[in-house]
Amino acid sequence: MTSISAGSLPAAIAERRAVLLRSLQQLPPRGSRPLTVSTRVAGWVTARATAVLRGLPGVHVEDEAVHVAASVSPRMSLNAVLAHVARTLNDAGCIRSWRGEMLDVVGEGRRLAVIERGAVRPLGLLTCAVHLNAWTPRGDLWIARRALTKSTDPGKWDTLAGGLACAGEVPDVALVREAGEEAGLAHHDLARRSPLHVILRLHKRLPEGYQVEDVLVCDCVLADGVVPENQDGEVSEFQRVPMEDVWSLIQAREFTAQAELALLEGMAGRLASSAR
């Protein structure tokens, strides 16, 4: 154990988790305005994105907010308006990377439309991220190193599998898909897992906008002999690591913030169960 005794680990985890939670609750970027989609509050538009979108069909900019809805003239559906919004943001350099993936647009708890993934941060739209903490029967954790080609946090350590739910995809389906793509796991490999649950709705300022995201996590015990194997090129290596070594990596800030939060949740639960 690095710089901490085994008996002190639960308290240290709780303290670190509290600090991390505070760092993931930030106000919107300066100059941002609330965004409504079909009259429902759905996000926070950056000042730069607001200037770019002003005057587009279906977009109405007010001092207090930006409103997006289906357009009457020219006639455009809400999805068409949002597709035009995404293309315009991309042409103006407001989008970090065009992903070619569609995500749900959610307002006040209701799915309203879909939009290109790259456009969600300039608009401050809510996304849903799932994470898998994968344990061995002896209590080690499987962790994954993000490929150096990743656009965010390249080379950082991560949970075994995780990612965003796509348009129309419920979190459980997203988790199974991500586990297959990132770790080569089949559905039956995940049989011994806890229910997905939300551990945080984070709010974080980014260079390209505002990240508003529900973070969901579950814990799974993989059978002996199951060895992860990346399928999509987004992971450079896997390691099976004792909990105390995971804690050392956390202390060294080697994990992404979301992965750290998910792992701390899983480690705290594991320690609490073993203490009963």
Burial tier of 148 (Cβ tally within 10 Å: 0-12, 13-18, 19+): exposed
Residue 212's alpha-carbon distances to 24, 28, 121, 245, in angstroms, are 10, 9, 8, 31
Q: Is 116 left (phi over 0), alpha (psi -120 to 50) or beta?
A: beta
Q: For the chain, give every residue range classified as CATH 3.30.750.160.
A: 33-123
Looking at residue 214, what is its pLDDT? 98
Looking at residue 8, what is its pLDDT? 86
Quickly list DSSP for 161-193: EEEE--TT--HHHHHHHHHHHHH---GGGGSSB
Alpha-carbon gap, residue 214 to 158, rounded angstroms: 17
Q: What is the largest CA-CA distance in the chain?
A: 67
Looking at residue 191, what is its pLDDT? 92
Task: Give the SS3 label for residue 45.
Answer: strand
* Interacting residues of 271 by C-beta distance below 8 A, sequence separation 6+: 9, 10, 13
Alpha-carbon gap, residue 269 to 266, rounded angstroms: 5
* Interacting residues of 254 by C-beta distance below 8 A, sequence separation 6+: 156, 157
Burial tier of 150 (Cβ tally within 10 Å: 0-12, 13-18, 19+): middle
Domain 6-26+127-275, CATH: 3.90.79.10
Domain 33-123, CATH: 3.30.750.160
Structure tokens at 162: 């995780």
Structure tokens at 121: 């941060």
Question: Which residue is associated with the tokens 């207090």?
Answer: 64
Angle between helices 9-23 and 257-275 (to 10 degrees): 150
Please list the ranges in the chain whose pLDDT falls under 70: 1-6
Select from 95, 98, 99, 24 the least CA-distant residue to 259: 24
Total Cβ atoms within 10 A of residue 199: 19
Looking at residue 5, what is its pLDDT? 57
* Interacting residues of 109 by C-beta distance below 8 A, sequence separation 6+: none
Q: Give per-residue pLDDT as tens, 154-167.
A: 999 999 999 999 99
Q: For the chain, give every residue range classified as CATH 3.90.79.10.
A: 6-26+127-275
Asked if 171 and 165 count as a contact pair (C-beta separation under 8 A), the reply is yes
